[in-house]
Amino acid sequence: MSMTSSSRVSILPLALLLSGCRVVAPDSPRPAPVQASKPRPAAPVSLESAELKSVQARRFDPARDQRFGRKIKAPGAAVRIDVRTARSLGNLAGSAAPVILVNGERLLDTFPIAQDHLVAIHPDRAKLREINEVKVVWLGRHQPETQRPLTFRLGDIR
């Protein structure tokens, strides 16, 4: 008994089916050609600095400020800094982010609360000066930092 088959079955359709190729009849309608769309220009970014309206510093309260201070090792030494900007910061969803600067130190865990309200936790009150300068700078966007910084006194922290 022979193991070869004497039937004349072509394996080409089976091979095309298994390889994912589609066989199209010559008289079937062709799909519409795909036209490349032009990329939309990015929304213009204002190159104005984020000027400040107010700054407030107060003691870190773990119960109230829990979402901001997850990485705080010494909650008793931490200070919460609230900054209100003179104008809206615009669209905060993206790769750029506003960051609060205190005496030139970037507080990388700055959280936007509203379009004009930022909060950051300074981890060590002992590093603050008697008079502290506060600015806002954008990371990931070529935009100048605050031109007219505000200040708060160490004695004003409640």
The domain spanning residue 112 has which CATH number? Answer: 2.60.40
pLDDT in tens, 134-146: 999 998 887 888 9
Show the domain range for 126: 52-156
d(CA 107, CA 127) in angstroms, rounded, equals: 13
- Domain membership of residue 22 (yes or no) is no
SS3 14: helix
Give residue 91's pLDDT band: very low, low, confident or very high (50, 70, 90).
confident
- Domain membership of residue 6 (yes or no) is no
- Domain membership of residue 80 (yes or no) is yes
Average pLDDT for the chain: 82
* Count of the separate structural domains present in the chain: 1
pLDDT in tens, 41-85: 554 555 678 899 999 999 999 888 877 766 787 888 999 999 999
**pLDDT score recorded for residue 107:** 94
d(CA 98, CA 28) in angstroms, rounded, equals: 57
Number of continuous H segments (helices) and E segments (strands) in the chain: 1, 8
- Domain membership of residue 141 (yes or no) is yes
Dihedral over alpha carbons 47, 147, 152, 137 (to 10 degrees)? 30
